Structure 1
């Protein structure tokens, strides 16, 4: 239950779109589509399509902000278009001819459709360990953050940094905004814990996941 004073301090969308049962879901302003891939042996993957004619894609805003993962390597393989990647302060331009890009644990990175592209960006992404266990980057993390951001956009609300940090922290990941870039990893982790758990969850009443966005865990 969210109290009126919590809504006053930190407004949130009046309703959440139900996307939990959908095999694909969209990003803010329909700038990108996420298709959940069925992979053998209980692994997961996602194919992202970033539409070149969308204003957010043209502006390089369809990808996530700078962040890192504490427990997983992340992998990208371009199928079409051009993927721009910032990896530990260096920019890379990736096409399908470059094979699989591995972003290691602790590497600060972000990605977007590169401005040199002549067509929509399509790539596959996955992370290790890929199985559905708690508190790692998985499809439900992507569903929750995409659903929340899309609902905020539709309602004309600015997303809450505390909610975003809680999503990331619960997935053993950290945001790396410029004003925190100087922090060593241990301090950045502690700051996320305070802002995400103590302020975001305990004080403001945010959740690390919502049933409207979250697919049911597999039972097989």
Structure 2
């Protein structure tokens, strides 16, 4: 239950748009389409399409901010278009001619549709390990984060950094904006622990929501 004072202190969407019945779901600003892809052995991948004519994509903002996964490696394979990726300050530009890009756990990274692109960006991304563990990046993390941000946009609300911190903390990941480049990972971890505690205990946010969680 969320109390009135929590809503005043940190507004949130009153109604959440269920996305659990859909194998694909669209991000805020209609910038990108995410499609879940099942792989052998219970594994999964996300196939993303970023629409090159969308203003959010043109601005290089259709991907996530700089972040770190603590317990999982991540992989990217481009099928169409041009993908820009920064890993620990080094920029990569990938097309379908390039091999799978491996990003080890603990790497600061972000990705977007590169400014040189002339067509929609389509790529697959997956994390490993991706099952039989708690507190890792999985499809439900993506559904919760994308669903929450889209509902904030629909309701004209600024997304809460505390809610986003709680999502990332619950998935053993860290937000690491450029202003925090100087921070060691151990300090970022403690900041996320504190932020997640405030989000859940004081502000009444949740780690996941039934409307977004499959």
Q: TM-score, normalised by structure 2?
A: 0.98
Query: CA deviation digits over 1:73-124, x for unaligned, max 9?
Result: 0000000000001110111111111110011110000000000000000000
Q: What residue number does 1:218 align with?
A: none
Stretches of structure 1 lacking an aligned partner (at least 5 in a row): 216-220
Q: What residue number does 2:60 align with?
A: 60
Partner secondary structure for residue 36 of structure 2? strand
Q: Equivalents in 1 of 2:37, 2:20: separation in Å? A: 15
Q: What residue number does 2:39 align with?
A: 39
Q: Equivalents in 2 of 1:147, 1:132: separation in Å? A: 24
1:151: how far off?
Answer: 0.5
Compared CA separation, residues 195 and 17, structure 1 to 2 (3 A):
same
1:39-188 maps to which residues of 2 (within 5 A)? 39-188=39-188
1:194: how far off?
Answer: 0.3
Q: Equivalents in 2 of 1:186, 1:18: separation in Å? A: 35
Whether the aligned pair in 2 keeps the contact of 1:132 and 1:138 (CA below 8 Å) is: no
Whether the aligned pair in 2 keeps the contact of 1:48 and 1:123 (CA below 8 Å) is: yes
Q: Equivalents in 1 of 2:176, 2:155: separation in Å? A: 26
Q: What residue number does 1:203 align with?
A: 202
Whether the aligned pair in 2 keeps the contact of 1:16 and 1:151 (CA below 8 Å) is: yes
Instruction: State the 4+ residue runs in structure 1 displaced beyond 6 angstroms.
Output: none
How many residue pairs match? The answer is 214
1:40: how far off?
Answer: 1.1
Compared CA separation, residues 49 and 132, structure 1 to 2 (3 A):
farther
Stretches of structure 2 lacking an aligned partner (at least 5 in a row): none
Q: Which moved more, 1:130-139 or 1:4-13?
A: 130-139
1:133: how far off?
Answer: 3.0
Whether the aligned pair in 2 keeps the contact of 1:80 and 1:95 (CA below 8 Å) is: yes
Q: Equivalents in 2 of 1:132, 1:76: separation in Å? A: 22
Q: What residue number does 1:212 align with?
A: 211
Whether the aligned pair in 2 keeps the contact of 1:168 and 1:175 (CA below 8 Å) is: yes
1:132: how far off?
Answer: 4.9
Q: TM-score, normalised by structure 1?
A: 0.95
Query: How large is the Cα RMSD of the aligned pairs?
Result: 0.9
